[in-house]
């Protein structure tokens, strides 16, 4: 079927750039590209949502423009600001020439004094960029509402300049860790995909893709061990980045078989465990128990 072929092309393109997507994620990216719709990726922190945008930009040879969301983020920081210092200098210069007030206003509120921020920059690129709106759930609901015009019509309104339409349509990826519920209006404007932790086979492939010199059997053992740790009652389960850190640490120590190096396995778990509560839960006994299942 045609859409399977297109999906597989997306998967190959992302894999070539270092990201191993599952079938559903590859389909979501293909639909995002073919429909020119924003893609909302939701999931636990550390499952690789942000990496999708980074890799897509690399795979497409496109500029990545990132907007990191946080509480209190406003339009000025996301869309545009006026260069007030240059405006003040221009006002003094014009006043010394006795220019009319309306002439001065037209001059200082022109493109020359406009500072682009991520959203404005993304729609004014000569070549379609990848716009990453990261952790949109951290922004206030008011800012989320502000995004609707951009995501619907790819245009923004600047009172002094009017409506600015997109020069090119960016590929927009929004990520959410689910810390608060997003509005229905935002969800309606986006395609949606829930990103889960990779299964054992895919996580082993991620390891071997990022670390081509690592033994395939060791990568599989690491992936199985990670799967076991994620099933423990932890405050923060290790993400893919932690998996890669741990794999690099084990490879650096010359570990070839996890079962033969239980002490090294336990002592390097600081790459995976990030809170004191989790450290107390993943004891040497737990580590040895999980090691017994990696064969």
The model's pLDDT over 149-161, given as tens digits with 9 standing for 90+, comes to: 888 889 988 888 8
Q: Which residues contact 208 (CB under 8 A, 6 or more apart)?
A: 214, 216, 219
165 band by pLDDT with thresholds 50, 70 and 90: very high
Pair 95, 54: CB distance under 8 Å: no
Q: What percent of the chain has pLDDT over 70?
A: 100
Look at residue 131 in the predicted model and tell me its pLDDT.
Answer: 97
From CA 274, how far away is CA 238, in angstroms rounded? 8
Q: What is the pLDDT of residue 157?
A: 87
Region 54-67 average pLDDT: 97
Fold classification of 1-72+117-195 (topology level)? Rossmann fold (3.40.50)
Summarised one tens digit per residue, pLDDT across range 102-121 is: 888 888 898 899 999 999 99
| The residue to which tokens 């690592």 are assigned | 214
For the cut 90, the answer to whether the pLDDT of residue 222 exceeds it is: yes
**What confidence score (pLDDT) does residue 1 get?**
67
CA nearest to 46, candidates 228, 182, 232, 177: 177
């Amino acid at each position: 079927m045609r859409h399977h072929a297109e999906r597989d092309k997306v998967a190959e393109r992302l894999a070539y750039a270092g990201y191993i997507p599952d079938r559903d994620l590859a389909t979501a990216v293909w639909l995002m590209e073919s429909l020119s719709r924003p893609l909302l990726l939701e999931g636990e922190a550390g499952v690789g949502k942000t990496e999708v945008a980074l890799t897509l930009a690399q795979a497409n040879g496109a500029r990545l423009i990132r907007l990191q969301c946080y509480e209190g983020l406003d339009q000025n920081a996301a869309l545009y600001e006026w260069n007030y210092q240059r405006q003040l200098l221009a006002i003094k210069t014009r006043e010394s020439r006795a220019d009319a007030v309306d002439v001065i206003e037209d001059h200082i509120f022109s493109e020359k004094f406009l500072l682009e921020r991520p959203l404005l920059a993304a729609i004014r690129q000569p070549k379609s960029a990848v716009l990453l709106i990261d952790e949109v759930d951290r922004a206030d609901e008011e800012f989320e509402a502000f995004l609707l015009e951009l995501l619907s019509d790819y245009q923004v309104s600047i009172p002094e300049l009017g409506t600015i339409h997109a020069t090119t349509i960016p590929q927009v990826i929004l990520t959410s860790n689910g810390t608060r519920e997003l509005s229905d209006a935002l969800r309606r404007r986006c395609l949606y995909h829930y990103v889960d932790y990779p299964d054992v086979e895919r996580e082993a492939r991620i390891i071997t893709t990022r670390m081509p010199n690592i033994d395939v059997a060791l990568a599989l053992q690491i992936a199985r061990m990670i799967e076991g740790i994620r099933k423990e009652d932890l405050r923060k389960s290790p993400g893919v980045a932690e998996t890669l850190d741990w794999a690099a640490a084990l490879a650096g120590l010359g570990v070839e078989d996890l079962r033969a190096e239980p002490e090294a396995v336990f002592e390097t778990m600081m790459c995976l465990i990030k809170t004191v509560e989790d450290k107390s839960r993943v004891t040497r006994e737990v580590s040895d128990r999980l090691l017994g299942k990696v064969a």
